[in-house]
Protein backbone atom coordinates (compact mmCIF):
# COMPACT_ATOMS: atom_id res chain seq x y z
CA UNK A 1 0.00 0.00 0.00
CA UNK A 2 1.57 3.28 -1.12
CA UNK A 3 2.02 5.99 1.49
CA UNK A 4 0.67 9.39 0.44
CA UNK A 5 0.88 12.82 2.01
CA UNK A 6 -1.85 15.27 0.98
CA UNK A 7 -1.05 18.82 2.04
CA UNK A 8 -4.25 20.81 2.44
CA UNK A 9 -5.99 17.45 2.53
CA UNK A 10 -8.92 18.44 4.74
CA UNK A 11 -10.32 20.71 2.05
CA UNK A 12 -12.70 20.31 -0.83
CA UNK A 13 -10.59 18.01 -3.02
CA UNK A 14 -8.78 16.19 -0.22
CA UNK A 15 -12.01 15.13 1.49
CA UNK A 16 -13.32 13.64 -1.73
CA UNK A 17 -10.04 11.82 -2.37
CA UNK A 18 -10.13 10.32 1.13
CA UNK A 19 -13.73 9.24 0.61
CA UNK A 20 -12.81 7.45 -2.61
CA UNK A 21 -9.34 6.04 -1.92
CA UNK A 22 -8.63 5.79 1.82
CA UNK A 23 -8.73 1.99 1.61
CA UNK A 24 -6.35 1.90 -1.36
CA UNK A 25 -3.59 4.10 0.07
CA UNK A 26 -1.96 4.81 3.41
CA UNK A 27 -2.95 8.49 3.57
CA UNK A 28 -1.51 11.21 5.79
CA UNK A 29 -3.02 14.70 5.74
CA UNK A 30 -1.18 17.90 6.65
CA UNK A 31 -3.55 20.83 7.12
CA UNK A 32 -4.23 23.96 9.17
CA UNK A 33 -7.89 22.91 9.59
CA UNK A 34 -9.10 26.43 8.78
CA UNK A 35 -11.87 25.13 6.53
CA UNK A 36 -13.02 22.01 8.30
CA UNK A 37 -11.82 18.59 9.35
CA UNK A 38 -11.98 15.00 8.21
CA UNK A 39 -12.84 12.66 11.05
CA UNK A 40 -12.04 9.46 9.16
CA UNK A 41 -10.14 6.95 11.25
CA UNK A 42 -8.57 5.64 8.06
CA UNK A 43 -6.19 8.58 7.64
CA UNK A 44 -3.46 10.15 9.75
CA UNK A 45 -4.17 13.82 10.48
CA UNK A 46 -1.22 16.13 11.10
CA UNK A 47 -2.16 19.67 12.11
CA UNK A 48 0.25 22.33 10.96
CA UNK A 49 1.10 25.23 8.70
CA UNK A 50 2.99 24.68 5.44
CA UNK A 51 5.31 27.54 6.40
CA UNK A 52 6.48 25.51 9.40
CA UNK A 53 6.38 21.98 8.04
CA UNK A 54 9.17 19.77 9.39
CA UNK A 55 11.09 16.91 7.86
CA UNK A 56 9.52 14.19 10.01
CA UNK A 57 6.11 14.86 8.41
CA UNK A 58 7.54 13.44 5.18
CA UNK A 59 9.05 10.37 6.83
CA UNK A 60 8.20 7.16 4.90
CA UNK A 61 6.08 9.10 2.36
CA UNK A 62 6.26 7.91 -1.26
CA UNK A 63 3.92 10.38 -2.96
CA UNK A 64 3.09 14.00 -2.12
CA UNK A 65 -0.04 15.69 -3.48
CA UNK A 66 0.55 19.34 -2.72
CA UNK A 67 -2.40 21.72 -2.45
CA UNK A 68 -1.76 23.50 0.84
CA UNK A 69 -2.15 27.05 -0.45
CA UNK A 70 -4.51 30.00 -0.24
CA UNK A 71 -6.80 28.60 -2.88
CA UNK A 72 -8.46 30.55 -5.70
CA UNK A 73 -8.06 34.06 -7.02
CA UNK A 74 -10.28 36.07 -4.59
CA UNK A 75 -8.68 34.36 -1.59
CA UNK A 76 -5.24 35.07 -3.00
CA UNK A 77 -6.15 38.76 -3.01
CA UNK A 78 -7.01 38.55 0.72
CA UNK A 79 -3.39 39.39 1.48
CA UNK A 80 -1.00 39.42 -1.51
CA UNK A 81 2.11 39.20 0.65
CA UNK A 82 0.75 36.19 2.53
CA UNK A 83 -0.19 34.61 -0.78
CA UNK A 84 3.47 34.81 -1.83
CA UNK A 85 4.63 33.54 1.55
CA UNK A 86 2.23 30.61 1.81
CA UNK A 87 1.72 29.64 -1.81
CA UNK A 88 5.23 30.16 -3.15
CA UNK A 89 7.63 29.96 -0.22
CA UNK A 90 5.67 27.11 1.37
CA UNK A 91 5.83 25.13 -1.87
CA UNK A 92 9.57 25.70 -2.19
CA UNK A 93 10.09 24.51 1.37
CA UNK A 94 8.23 21.24 0.96
CA UNK A 95 10.01 20.52 -2.32
CA UNK A 96 13.38 20.97 -0.63
CA UNK A 97 12.35 18.78 2.30
CA UNK A 98 11.09 16.10 -0.07
CA UNK A 99 14.50 16.06 -1.71
CA UNK A 100 16.03 15.00 1.61
CA UNK A 101 13.87 11.89 2.06
CA UNK A 102 12.73 9.01 -0.13
CA UNK A 103 9.78 10.63 -1.90
CA UNK A 104 9.16 9.11 -5.35
CA UNK A 105 6.54 11.41 -6.85
CA UNK A 106 5.34 14.98 -6.30
CA UNK A 107 2.03 16.13 -7.82
CA UNK A 108 1.65 19.89 -7.77
CA UNK A 109 -1.88 21.26 -8.03
CA UNK A 110 -1.55 24.36 -10.16
CA UNK A 111 -4.47 26.09 -11.85
CA UNK A 112 -5.80 27.02 -15.27
CA UNK A 113 -6.08 30.54 -13.85
CA UNK A 114 -2.51 31.02 -15.06
CA UNK A 115 -3.95 31.56 -18.57
CA UNK A 116 -5.83 34.66 -17.47
CA UNK A 117 -7.61 36.01 -20.53
CA UNK A 118 -7.40 34.64 -24.05
CA UNK A 119 -9.95 34.27 -26.82
CA UNK A 120 -8.27 31.18 -28.32
CA UNK A 121 -8.34 27.57 -27.16
CA UNK A 122 -5.12 27.07 -25.23
CA UNK A 123 -2.80 24.16 -24.62
CA UNK A 124 0.16 23.71 -22.31
CA UNK A 125 2.50 25.48 -24.76
CA UNK A 126 0.33 28.59 -24.94
CA UNK A 127 1.55 31.79 -23.34
CA UNK A 128 0.38 32.26 -19.78
CA UNK A 129 -1.18 35.50 -18.57
CA UNK A 130 -1.61 35.42 -14.78
CA UNK A 131 -3.86 38.26 -13.66
CA UNK A 132 -3.94 37.67 -9.90
CA UNK A 133 -1.48 37.08 -7.06
CA UNK A 134 -2.84 33.54 -6.80
CA UNK A 135 -2.12 32.80 -10.47
CA UNK A 136 1.29 34.52 -10.31
CA UNK A 137 2.26 32.31 -7.35
CA UNK A 138 1.19 29.25 -9.33
CA UNK A 139 3.46 30.23 -12.23
CA UNK A 140 6.35 30.92 -9.85
CA UNK A 141 5.91 27.45 -8.38
CA UNK A 142 5.69 25.80 -11.78
CA UNK A 143 8.90 27.54 -12.85
CA UNK A 144 10.67 26.55 -9.66
CA UNK A 145 9.76 22.91 -10.26
CA UNK A 146 10.82 23.00 -13.91
CA UNK A 147 14.08 24.85 -13.29
CA UNK A 148 15.38 22.67 -10.47
CA UNK A 149 16.46 19.05 -10.33
CA UNK A 150 14.84 16.86 -7.72
CA UNK A 151 15.38 13.25 -6.72
CA UNK A 152 11.73 12.47 -7.48
CA UNK A 153 9.24 12.71 -10.33
CA UNK A 154 7.31 15.99 -10.54
CA UNK A 155 3.99 16.44 -12.34
CA UNK A 156 2.09 19.73 -12.60
CA UNK A 157 -1.70 19.75 -12.87
CA UNK A 158 -3.23 22.91 -14.31
CA UNK A 159 -6.67 22.19 -12.94
CA UNK A 160 -9.81 23.48 -14.57
CA UNK A 161 -12.42 25.10 -12.33
CA UNK A 162 -13.58 22.28 -10.08
CA UNK A 163 -17.26 21.65 -9.38
CA UNK A 164 -19.43 19.04 -7.72
CA UNK A 165 -20.23 17.80 -4.25
CA UNK A 166 -17.70 17.08 -1.51
CA UNK A 167 -18.38 16.94 2.21
CA UNK A 168 -16.19 20.02 2.61
CA UNK A 169 -18.01 21.87 -0.13
CA UNK A 170 -16.73 25.14 -1.54
CA UNK A 171 -19.32 27.73 -2.49
CA UNK A 172 -16.72 30.12 -3.89
CA UNK A 173 -16.59 28.04 -7.08
CA UNK A 174 -18.96 29.24 -9.76
CA UNK A 175 -21.00 26.10 -10.52
CA UNK A 176 -21.41 25.24 -6.83
CA UNK A 177 -22.28 28.84 -5.97
CA UNK A 178 -24.91 29.32 -8.68
CA UNK A 179 -26.48 25.91 -7.99
CA UNK A 180 -26.67 26.48 -4.23
CA UNK A 181 -28.27 29.90 -4.63
CA UNK A 182 -30.73 28.62 -7.21
CA UNK A 183 -31.99 26.10 -4.66
CA UNK A 184 -31.85 28.44 -1.68
CA UNK A 185 -33.17 31.67 -3.23
CA UNK A 186 -35.06 30.37 -6.26
CA UNK A 187 -33.00 32.62 -8.55
CA UNK A 188 -29.71 32.57 -10.40
CA UNK A 189 -27.70 35.75 -10.05
CA UNK A 190 -24.58 36.06 -12.20
CA UNK A 191 -22.21 38.91 -11.31
CA UNK A 192 -20.81 39.15 -14.82
CA UNK A 193 -22.62 39.42 -18.14
CA UNK A 194 -22.19 35.66 -18.53
CA UNK A 195 -19.65 35.86 -21.35
CA UNK A 196 -16.50 34.67 -19.47
CA UNK A 197 -15.40 31.20 -20.54
CA UNK A 198 -14.07 28.47 -18.29
CA UNK A 199 -12.99 24.85 -18.49
CA UNK A 200 -14.39 22.61 -15.74
CA UNK A 201 -13.79 19.27 -14.08
CA UNK A 202 -15.87 17.41 -11.51
CA UNK A 203 -14.16 16.99 -8.14
CA UNK A 204 -14.58 13.22 -8.28
CA UNK A 205 -12.98 13.01 -11.71
CA UNK A 206 -10.06 15.13 -10.53
CA UNK A 207 -9.54 12.72 -7.63
CA UNK A 208 -9.73 9.76 -10.01
CA UNK A 209 -7.02 11.36 -12.15
CA UNK A 210 -4.82 11.89 -9.08
CA UNK A 211 -5.27 8.18 -8.36
CA UNK A 212 -4.36 7.34 -11.97
CA UNK A 213 -1.14 9.36 -11.76
CA UNK A 214 -0.17 7.91 -8.37
CA UNK A 215 -0.69 4.39 -9.70
CA UNK A 216 1.26 5.02 -12.91
CA UNK A 217 4.71 3.45 -12.72
CA UNK A 218 6.08 5.37 -15.71
CA UNK A 219 8.41 8.27 -15.04
CA UNK A 220 6.62 11.30 -16.50
CA UNK A 221 8.84 13.96 -15.02
CA UNK A 222 8.37 17.74 -15.27
CA UNK A 223 5.19 17.54 -17.33
CA UNK A 224 2.56 20.28 -17.21
CA UNK A 225 -0.90 18.86 -17.89
CA UNK A 226 -4.17 20.74 -18.40
CA UNK A 227 -6.70 18.83 -16.31
CA UNK A 228 -10.26 18.69 -17.57
CA UNK A 229 -12.09 17.50 -20.66
CA UNK A 230 -12.71 19.01 -24.08
CA UNK A 231 -16.46 18.55 -23.53
CA UNK A 232 -16.38 20.73 -20.41
CA UNK A 233 -15.49 24.15 -21.85
CA UNK A 234 -18.45 26.44 -21.09
CA UNK A 235 -19.37 30.09 -20.78
CA UNK A 236 -20.90 31.15 -17.46
CA UNK A 237 -24.10 31.94 -19.33
CA UNK A 238 -24.29 28.35 -20.61
CA UNK A 239 -23.68 27.05 -17.09
CA UNK A 240 -26.50 29.24 -15.77
CA UNK A 241 -28.91 27.83 -18.32
CA UNK A 242 -28.07 24.23 -17.41
CA UNK A 243 -28.64 25.01 -13.73
CA UNK A 244 -31.92 26.68 -14.64
CA UNK A 245 -33.03 23.61 -16.60
CA UNK A 246 -32.18 21.20 -13.78
CA UNK A 247 -33.61 23.27 -10.91
CA UNK A 248 -36.62 24.70 -12.77
CA UNK A 249 -35.47 28.16 -11.66
CA UNK A 250 -36.27 30.55 -14.48
CA UNK A 251 -35.21 33.80 -12.79
CA UNK A 252 -31.72 34.42 -14.22
CA UNK A 253 -30.09 37.82 -13.98
CA UNK A 254 -26.75 39.02 -15.32
CA UNK A 255 -24.69 42.00 -14.20
CA UNK A 256 -22.00 44.10 -15.77
CA UNK A 257 -18.59 42.61 -16.39
CA UNK A 258 -17.06 42.13 -12.95
CA UNK A 259 -13.51 42.68 -11.72
CA UNK A 260 -12.56 39.11 -12.61
CA UNK A 261 -11.25 39.38 -16.16
CA UNK A 262 -10.38 35.70 -16.61
CA UNK A 263 -11.79 34.01 -19.68
CA UNK A 264 -10.31 31.05 -21.57
CA UNK A 265 -11.03 27.67 -23.13
CA UNK A 266 -8.49 24.84 -22.89
CA UNK A 267 -7.39 21.84 -24.90
CA UNK A 268 -6.94 18.57 -23.03
CA UNK A 269 -5.36 16.61 -25.86
CA UNK A 270 -2.11 16.17 -23.92
CA UNK A 271 -3.94 14.62 -20.96
CA UNK A 272 -5.73 12.25 -23.32
CA UNK A 273 -2.43 11.31 -24.97
CA UNK A 274 -0.52 10.61 -21.75
CA UNK A 275 -3.43 8.86 -19.99
CA UNK A 276 -5.56 7.45 -22.86
CA UNK A 277 -7.53 5.15 -20.55
CA UNK A 278 -8.70 7.97 -18.29
CA UNK A 279 -12.23 9.16 -19.01
CA UNK A 280 -14.42 11.53 -17.03
CA UNK A 281 -17.51 10.10 -15.34
CA UNK A 282 -19.37 13.39 -14.90
CA UNK A 283 -20.36 15.73 -17.69
CA UNK A 284 -21.76 19.12 -16.72
CA UNK A 285 -25.41 18.09 -16.50
CA UNK A 286 -24.81 14.89 -14.52
CA UNK A 287 -22.35 16.67 -12.22
CA UNK A 288 -24.81 19.47 -11.46
CA UNK A 289 -27.65 16.97 -10.96
CA UNK A 290 -25.52 15.05 -8.44
CA UNK A 291 -24.72 18.35 -6.71
CA UNK A 292 -28.43 19.23 -6.53
CA UNK A 293 -29.27 15.83 -5.04
CA UNK A 294 -26.61 16.22 -2.34
CA UNK A 295 -27.46 19.85 -1.57
CA UNK A 296 -31.06 18.79 -0.90
CA UNK A 297 -29.79 16.15 1.52
CA UNK A 298 -27.15 18.17 3.39
CA UNK A 299 -28.06 21.42 5.12
CA UNK A 300 -25.54 24.14 4.33
CA UNK A 301 -25.39 27.63 5.79
CA UNK A 302 -24.16 29.39 2.68
CA UNK A 303 -20.99 30.42 4.55
CA UNK A 304 -18.87 27.73 2.90
CA UNK A 305 -16.82 30.46 1.23
CA UNK A 306 -13.17 30.51 2.19
CA UNK A 307 -12.71 34.26 2.24
CA UNK A 308 -15.68 34.61 4.61
CA UNK A 309 -14.33 31.84 6.81
CA UNK A 310 -10.90 33.44 7.14
CA UNK A 311 -12.46 36.82 7.80
CA UNK A 312 -14.60 35.28 10.53
CA UNK A 313 -11.62 33.50 12.15
CA UNK A 314 -9.58 36.72 12.27
CA UNK A 315 -12.46 38.80 13.64
CA UNK A 316 -13.05 36.19 16.34
CA UNK A 317 -9.31 36.42 17.15
CA UNK A 318 -8.83 32.71 16.58
CA UNK A 319 -6.33 33.40 13.80
CA UNK A 320 -3.83 36.27 13.68
CA UNK A 321 -3.13 38.63 10.78
CA UNK A 322 -0.47 36.26 9.45
CA UNK A 323 -2.97 33.38 9.42
CA UNK A 324 -1.48 31.45 12.32
CA UNK A 325 -3.75 29.93 14.95
CA UNK A 326 -3.71 31.96 18.17
Q: What is the pLDDT along the chain (326 residues), one digit of tens a residue?
A: 899 999 999 889 999 999 999 999 999 999 987 666 666 678 999 999 999 999 999 999 999 999 988 765 455 455 778 888 888 889 999 999 999 999 999 999 999 999 999 989 999 999 999 998 889 999 999 999 999 999 999 999 999 999 999 988 888 899 999 999 999 999 999 999 999 999 999 999 999 999 999 999 999 999 999 999 999 999 999 999 999 999 999 999 998 866 678 899 999 999 999 999 999 999 999 999 999 999 988 776 655 556 666 677 777 777 767 676 66
Closest CA relative to residue 198, chosen from 179, 177, 173, 180: 173
pLDDT number for residue 309: 67
In angstroms, the CA 224 to CA 27 distance is 25
Fold category of 3-315 in CATH: Rossmann fold (3.40.50)
pLDDT number for residue 173: 93
Length of the chain equals: 326
In angstroms, the CA 40 to CA 15 distance is 10
Closest CA relative to residue 154, chosen from 65, 58, 273: 65
pLDDT number for residue 69: 86
In angstroms, the CA 18 to CA 20 distance is 5
3-state secondary structure of 320: coil
pLDDT number for residue 73: 47
Amino acid sequence: MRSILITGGMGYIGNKFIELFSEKYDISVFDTSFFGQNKSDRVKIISGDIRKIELDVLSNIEVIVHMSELSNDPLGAFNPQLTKEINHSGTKDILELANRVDVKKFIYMSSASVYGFNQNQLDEKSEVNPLTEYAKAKINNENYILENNFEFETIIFRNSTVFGFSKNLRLDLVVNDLTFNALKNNKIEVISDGSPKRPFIHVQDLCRLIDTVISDNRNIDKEIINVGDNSLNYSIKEISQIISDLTNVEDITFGDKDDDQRSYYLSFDKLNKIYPDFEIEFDMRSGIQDLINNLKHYKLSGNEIRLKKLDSLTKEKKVDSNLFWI
